[in-house]
Structure 1
Amino acid sequence: MTAVIFDLFGTFLEIRDRQNPYRRLLRLGSQQGRVASPGDLRWVMTNTCGLQGAADFFEIKLSSTQLTELQSCLELELESIALFEDALPAHALLRHHQIKIGVCSNLGGPYCSVARNLLPGLDGYALSAEVGLMKPDVAMYQHICTQLEVAPSQFPGSNAPHVLMIGDSRRCDADGSRVAGIEGYHLDRSGVGRFRDLLEFVTAINISRG
């Protein structure tokens, strides 16, 4: 095994005080007669601009009071982001085994710097707002693998480095990564699935693969 890729929110990081500022913004748009689109979330997740930039793009009119309130909600949410208590021990164990670590996550622009500050010095960061792609786009997984300097493949007899990924979305982190040739796993912190925390996952893969 050469590298492990992690999702961020729900996996490495948790939001302890959810305010949903972008949903509130879109709700204001609906009140103004704007029809919501399935592509709204994708735009938010693949652009680095903040709330005012999103409001301008969606043509949602905000008063100074509304913008201040939304910005306050965003700041409260950002300040509440913290590492799960199993994140750093899992990180340390992988470093001990000299395994590269990357993160691949769908998140809006204002969340990127917070994630980087809480998890500095990783070997790769594929953050959707910075990359302009979203999981489960195959190109998103290819992007993080390029950063990690690995070329994943699950084909029998392949000499490509072995790459694993884990996250709390079965669609994006387990199934989606497998399409890109990455061995994907689902993290279920409720305790129902095979892995309920990151330390359990990292310990298992190190035992099984040496």
Structure 2
Amino acid sequence: MVDGVIFDAFGTLLEIRNRQNSYRRLLRLGSEQGRVASPDDIRWIMAHSRGLEETASAFRIKLEPAQLMELQSALDLELESIQCFDDALLAIECVKEHGIKVGVCSNLAGPYCSRVRSLLPGLDAYALSAETGVLKPDLEMYRIVCAMLDTVPGQILGFETAQVLMIGDSKRCDELGPRSFGIVGHHLNRNGAGRFRSLIEFTSAITHASR
């Protein structure tokens, strides 16, 4: 029995059609000012619900008003360009029609959270890293989303009932990571290299198994 389905957001349900990379551009400005970049910078950004100005302050990056305006305009342009893949809402609705709880679990920066919620309304769980403070593939992220769904993966208790499934475009975060918590993770490869190349294929497999 499938009790819950968790979708990754970007690359799975949503696509960014006009990438501007405002946060990376902010970090480059910091480097130009002599700040030593850290491999953990992006993780920090996605684990804190901060806008560009707050992030610059936290990293001690000096921004002129014109620079902040330019970066914010670019970020707004990118956010506006985010759209659902053609199969996203159909897949969600298909799962819901079978009485299965639906959640989204994603690593993202703070300003992206409201866009995700507006494009994907009415879900049972929104585990967004900027709000939870942890990122996939940290086990805590999978625990949080399952708690939001009010379900426990059957495999974690050694049972085959109450399965929780997850799908996304990252093998590390959406297939292998969830499995370490008892969630049945699946990799989505829209280029066709893998079991599932669309969300319709994935949800069809779920609903067929649920009959």
Deviations 1:158-192 (A, max 9, x none): 16511000000000000000001100000001111
Q: Which amino acid aligns with 1:24?
A: R
C-alpha deviation, 1:47, in angstroms: 0.8
State the partner residue of 1:208: 209
Which structure 2 segments of 5+ residues have no match? none
Q: Aligned partners of 1:34 and 1:79: how far apart in 2?
A: 30
Q: What is the identity percentage for the equivalent residue pairs of Structure 1 and Structure 2?
A: 60
State the partner residue of 1:192: 193
The 3 A distance-change label for structure 1 pair 96 and 63 is: same
Q: Aligned partners of 2:161 and 2:194: how far apart in 1?
A: 28
C-alpha deviation, 1:92, in angstroms: 1.3
8 Å CA contact retained: 1:153, 1:181? yes
Deviations 1:46-81 (A, max 9, x none): 111100000001110010110000001100000000
State the partner residue of 2:115: 114
Equivalent position SS for 1:190: coil
State the partner residue of 2:35: 34
8 Å CA contact retained: 1:151, 1:160? no
State the partner residue of 1:168: 169
State the partner residue of 2:7: 6
Q: Does 1:51 align with 2:52?
A: yes
8 Å CA contact retained: 2:142, 2:181? yes
Q: Spell out the pairing of 1:13-162 with structure 2 (5 A cutoff).
A: 13-154=14-155, 158=159, 160-162=161-163
Q: Which amino acid aligns with 2:119?
A: L
Q: Aligned partners of 1:172 and 1:136: how far apart in 2?
A: 5
Q: Aligned partners of 1:74 and 1:128: how far apart in 2?
A: 18
Report the TM-score, using the length of structure 1 for normalisation. Answer: 0.97
Deviations 1:118-175 (A, max 9, x none): 1111001100000000000000000000010101132685165110000000000000
- RMSD, matched Cα: 1.2
Which structure 1 segments of 5+ residues have no match? none
8 Å CA contact retained: 2:156, 2:181? no
Equivalent position SS for 1:9: coil
The 3 A distance-change label for structure 1 pair 106 and 178 is: same
Count of residue pairs brought into register by the alignment: 210
8 Å CA contact retained: 1:4, 1:165? yes
Q: Aligned partners of 1:191 and 1:54: how far apart in 2?
A: 38
Q: Which amino acid aligns with 2:69?
A: T
8 Å CA contact retained: 1:14, 1:81? yes
Runs (4+) of structure 1 moved beyond 4 Å? none
